[in-house]
Amino acid sequence: MVQFALMAVIAAAWLVPPGWPDNAQLPLAVVGGVLAGLGLGLALWAHRSLGAAFTTYTHPPQGAGRVETGPYRLARHPMYGGGILVFAGISLAFGVVSLLVTVVLALLWRAKSAAEERVLVARFPDYATYRERTRRRFWPGI
């Protein structure tokens, strides 16, 4: 619930000053648009790679495994990484307040991913090996 509340605050902050200085608005909007587009692409790729595993994450069927294909071969939590890029990119285009709240959301997702990894280590004995092999938490190659 906290993450959805933070997302709502970020969206509301897009409408609140302070914005960026006039000479910085266009460059930041362009960079922000690129980041948001990359993040959306990464999140969609991750969601597609999860497939049916996404809907059965909390109660997977007997014998269900983890996903290590697509972006999951490069980063352990690429959907969070994509979400961070989307919110950071859009916030970069709009202003300081939303960008600061995006940092809080990223920290929450960092803590949430650490908690999820504790569950995954308990559920899948080979997860520790996957974590060693796939060192990046959120972004492939970064």
Q: Report pLDDT digits (tens) over 42-90.
A: 999 999 998 765 554 554 444 456 788 999 999 999 999 999 999 999 9
Please provide the distance, in angstroms rounded to a whole number, between the alpha carbons at the two ends of the chain. 28
* Mean pLDDT score of the chain: 88
Q: Is the Cβ–Cβ distance between 98 and 10 less than 8 Å? A: yes
Q: Within 10 Å of residue 106's Cβ, how many Cβ atoms?
A: 19
Looking at residue 63, its amino acid is G
Q: How far apart are CA 59 and CA 57, in angstroms?
A: 6
Domain ranges of the chain: 2-10+24-56+67-133
Q: How far apart are CA 82 and CA 48, in angstroms?
A: 13
Q: How far apart are CA 119 and CA 113, in angstroms?
A: 10
Query: Token pair of 65, please?
Result: 């495994």
Predicted structure pTM score: 0.85
